[in-house]
């Protein structure tokens, strides 16, 4: 299945969602919610984006973000990757926490901010875990109502609202009895806005595609986490990460792909990669060579491997 379009641009407004793997819970207690918010805060400091709204529920979350750089994939890889490491370490497990890649909509802020923020803040009410949005702790709504929330920049939010917070509260509460679906006008699965906005963003996407180097080898300034690579390869090849790490005389092809990408995308030595996958350092070179040769012969293999690389290069 082809991956959805992902527009990477400066000053782009995104609605982001991500669900638990197989729709399982991703937040099991208050500490989990707190840690996820901490990772958003750390990502803000690292990647310089703005948070306009959020809501964390047991098995998924919603974010409204505005980038200042063309780096939404790096932002979300950092947040989801950091939380996955925390979640798995805490519970002494391995494997996916989130279901595949995050989903993103590029949104016209002027046209849809009000409806989207209301939709996000009413999620706990819709899920019947709170009667009113004020009763739910793990969303930005309390920050809108005056509670200190370091993730939010209220001056920016107020400019988007064009109403005071009491008026906004009434606006949100009206949505309980008369819910509106803000996503019914989504275009091409990733754009939400009026026709001129959509036309502009499609042009930006075309320019992005033309300027992006579609090459297997690339200069990556920061090494990618090897566990993140293994989890992504496992997802693409319908395996479990622990299967790829398991020591076997004849490794499955997905394991060879993970090893090959570990050589390309991390700063680890062959010996370090071999220790991770339970093979010798010389077997690392052989596995990587097998994948590289097959990429030249098999278009499907090449497409999958290049797609995984693109996922990490953003």
DSSP 248: -
Lowest mean per-residue pLDDT among 34-38, 146-150, 166-170, 218-222? 218-222
43-70: pLDDT as tens digits: 999 999 999 999 999 999 999 999 999 9
Residue 220 is predicted with a pLDDT of: 37
With residue 36 as reference, give the H or E element that holds it: helix 30-47
Task: Give the pLDDT band (50/70/90) at residue 212.
Answer: low
pLDDT surpasses 50 at 191: yes
CA-CA distance, 179 to 115, in Å (whole number)? 10
Task: Give the pLDDT band (50/70/90) at residue 223.
Answer: low
Nearest residue to 91 (alpha-carbon basis) of 27, 40, 37: 27
User: Is 49:66 a contact under the CB 8 Å cutoff?
Assistant: yes
Lowest mean per-residue pLDDT among 12-16, 212-216, 260-264? 212-216
Nearest residue to 261 (alpha-carbon basis) of 237, 238, 292, 221: 292
The CATH number of 226-313, from 1.10.1750.10, 3.40.1030.10, 3.30.540.10, 2.40.50.100, is 1.10.1750.10
Task: Give the pLDDT band (50/70/90) at residue 4.
Answer: low
Task: Give the pLDDT band (50/70/90) at residue 217.
Answer: very low
Neighbours of 25 (CB within 10 A): 12
State percent of the chain over pLDDT 90. 59
Pairing assessment for the beta strands 191-192 and 13-19 based on DSSP bridges:
unpaired
Strands (E), the chain: 13-19, 50-56, 60-66, 103-107, 191-192
Residue 247 is predicted with a pLDDT of: 72
13-211: CATH class: alpha beta
The average pLDDT across 78-88 equals 95
Task: Give the pLDDT band (50/70/90) at residue 313.
Answer: low
CA-CA distance, 109 to 66, in Å (whole number)? 9
The average pLDDT across 68-95 equals 94
User: Is 309:214 a contact under the CB 8 Å cutoff?
Assistant: no
Task: Give the pLDDT band (50/70/90) at residue 218.
Answer: very low
End-to-end C-alpha distance for the chain, whole angstroms = 19
What are the residue ranges spanned by the domains of the chain? 13-211, 226-313
Burial class for 249, CB neighbours closer than 10 Å (0-12, 13-18, 19+): exposed
CA–centroid distance for 221 within its chain: 21
């Amino acid at each position: 299945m082809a991956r959805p379009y992902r527009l990477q641009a400066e000053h782009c407004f995104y609605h982001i969602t991500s669900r638990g793997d197989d729709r399982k819970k991703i937040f099991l207690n208050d500490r989990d919610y707190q840690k996820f918010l901490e990772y958003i805060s750390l990502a803000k400091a690292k990647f310089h984006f703005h948070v306009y709204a959020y809501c964390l529920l047991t098995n998924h979350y919603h974010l409204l973000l505005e980038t200042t750089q063309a780096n939404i994939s790096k932002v979300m890889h950092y947040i989801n990757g950091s939380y996955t490491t925390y979640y798995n370490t805490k519970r002494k497990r391995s494997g996916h926490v989130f279901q595949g890649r995050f989903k993103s909509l590029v949104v016209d802020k002027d046209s849809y901010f009000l409806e989207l923020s209301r939709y996000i803040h009413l999620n706990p009410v819709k899920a019947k875990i709170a009667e009113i949005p004020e009763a739910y702790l793990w969303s930005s709504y309390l920050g809108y109502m005056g509670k200190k929330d370091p993730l939010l920049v209220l001056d920016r939010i107020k400019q988007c609202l064009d109403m005071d917070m009491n008026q906004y509260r009434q606006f949100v509460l009206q949505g309980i009895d008369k819910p509106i679906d803000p996503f019914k006008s989504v275009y091409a699965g990733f754009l939400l806005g009026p026709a001129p906005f959509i036309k502009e963003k499609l042009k930006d996407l075309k320019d992005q595609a033309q300027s992006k180097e579609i090459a297997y080898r690339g200069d990556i300034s920061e090494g990618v986490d090897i566990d993140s690579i293994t989890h992504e390869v496992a997802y693409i090849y319908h395996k479990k990460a622990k299967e790829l790490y398991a020591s076997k005389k004849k490794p499955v092809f997905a394991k060879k792909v993970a090893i090959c990408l570990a050589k390309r995308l991390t700063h680890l030595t062959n010996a370090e990669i071999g220790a991770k996958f339970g093979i010798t350092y010389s077997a690392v070179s052989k596995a990587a060579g097998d994948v590289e040769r097959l990429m030249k012969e098999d278009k499907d293999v090449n497409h999958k491997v290049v797609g995984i690389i693109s996922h990490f290069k953003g």
